[in-house]
Amino acid sequence: MSAKHIATARWRALDREGQDTCRLSQTDEGWILLGHAQFRDELGQASLNYVVRCDRDWVTQSVDLAGQHERNEVRAKMVNAGGTWWVDDRAQPAVTGAHDIDLSFTPATNLMPLRRLGTEDLPVAAAWLQYPQAKLVPLEQTYARTGVADVMRYRAKETDYSTDLTVDRTGFVTLYPGLWEGQVTHAS
């Protein structure tokens, strides 16, 4: 499988010590996000690698997560098999039908719905990884245009959270107010 590099996003956390780097590539089958997040939270220092595979329509197909959190090894494989999500061969019926994964520790996974956003508001059923648990829970999100070219409105129903996201032309978030800010380098 050949991959064409599209862009690399680098973020720094605004609410804690942390950073994240994510590389976006296009393949014959769709899209790949290859990232590395480092952060400190209430459980200690984390260093996590993630690989998110999407089809050509930006629907998440699988996610691999590996790394360390304090002294604990982190490893999980999440698969979307026709709308049924699995984590390490355990079905996750609560998120059946979800198109997207939302990895709670990175802004990278906002990319998929932002790439699908057209002129109308986009309601999204996401499988939300409430890290550090290897469990997916439903998260109903809405993405909408604000009338400003690079600013999109985001809302998550379950958390009653909303904000305006600043995005790059790739769809990567460059400002997630209070949480992340970053920059995107495009492939030449």
Summarised one tens digit per residue, pLDDT across range 125-179 is 999 998 777 789 999 999 999 999 999 999 999 999 999 999 999 999 999 999 9
Is the predicted pLDDT of residue 2 greater than 90, yes or no? no
Q: What percent of the chain has pLDDT over 90?
A: 90
Query: Cα(17)–Cα(12) distance, rounded to whole angstroms?
Result: 8
Distance CA 175, CA 167 (A): 7
Structure tokens at 163: 């904000």
* Cross-strand partners of 85: 80
pTM: 0.95
Cβ neighbours, 10 Å, residue 6:
16
